[in-house]
Amino acid sequence: MTKTQYYTATSADGFIADQDNSLDWLFVVDRSGPDRFKEFFAGVGAMCMGATTYEWVLAHDQLLDHPEKWQAYYGDTPCWVFSHRDLPAIPGANLHFVAGDVAPVHDAMLSAAGAANVWLVGGGELVGRFADLGRLDEIIMGVTPVFLGGGAPLLPRRLLSSQVRLTRIVQDGQIAELTYELVHEPHGSAAD
């Protein structure tokens, strides 16, 4: 069954990017195991990200000058980018620039993914919009031994232990990868 997954790295104090929206802190963390991202991405059929994430990746990897890097990372996997402003497209990348409600975009991603999973890259506020609608199935977060003291929060939503269930813990060098399944109330419950 297709899952909608938030796969991300976070500082130990709960930030996915520093106060300058940078991820540079992440790339100095020791990893000793197999390529966890490669294993994860093998099951992805569609993905989306917010404008800030897209702009950071675009600049960090100089993707307008080196679009082949995007292809090496993501192949032809369709990616929806949520933005309220015009952003440059990476040549040859399967990109869809969108704004507004996540529900119809999620439906399109599910259709494109087929039997594969949907990856919500980030940021946390965008992922929170999916969670608000019950359209987030799993959170997979690599907790790093880094304390940023501020920045972009992992998931700026209130989710209590009754709403998430820990299903897996994996150590990868200095990173503790935690997988949480979101517990969705069945339709027709008293909360409806």
Query: Over 80: is that where the pLDDT of 191 sits?
Result: no
Domain assignment present for 40: yes
Q: What's the total number of domains in the chain?
A: 1
Q: Assess if residue 188 is contained within a domain.
A: no
pLDDT score at 20: 92
Q: Has residue 189 been placed in a domain?
A: no
Q: What is residue 117's three-state secondary structure? A: strand
CA-closest candidate to residue 142, choices 40, 22, 20: 40
How large a percentage of the chain has pLDDT more than 90?
86
Within a domain: 102: yes
More confident residue, 29 or 120: 120
Question: Which of 173, 148, 178 is closest to 29 using CA atoms?
Answer: 173
Distance in angstroms (rounded) separating the CA atoms of residues 121 and 140? 11
Residue 191 lies in a domain: no
Question: Any idea what the CATH number is for the domain that residue 83 is in?
Answer: 3.40.430.10
Backbone angles phi, psi at 108, to 5 degrees: -65, -40
Q: Is there a domain that residue 24 lies in?
A: yes
pLDDT > 60? residue 190: no
Containing structural domain, residue 62: 4-182
Residue 75 belongs to a domain = yes
| Paired tokens of 142 | 């690599």
pLDDT greater at residue 114 or residue 35 = 114
The per-residue pLDDT for 34 is: 73
The pLDDT value given to residue 186: 60
Domain-embedded: residue 187: no
% of the chain with per-residue pLDDT over 70: 96
- Asked if residue 70 has pLDDT above 50, the reply is yes
As a three-state string, the secondary structure of 13-67 is: CCEEECCCCCCHHHHHCCCCCCCHHHHHHCCEEEEEEEHHHHHHHHHHCCCCCCC
pLDDT average, residue stretch 122-145 = 96
The tens digit of pLDDT for each residue in 12-50 reads 999 999 999 989 899 888 777 778 899 999 999 999 999
pTM: predicted TM-score of the whole model, two decimal places: 0.92
**pLDDT(178) > 70:** yes
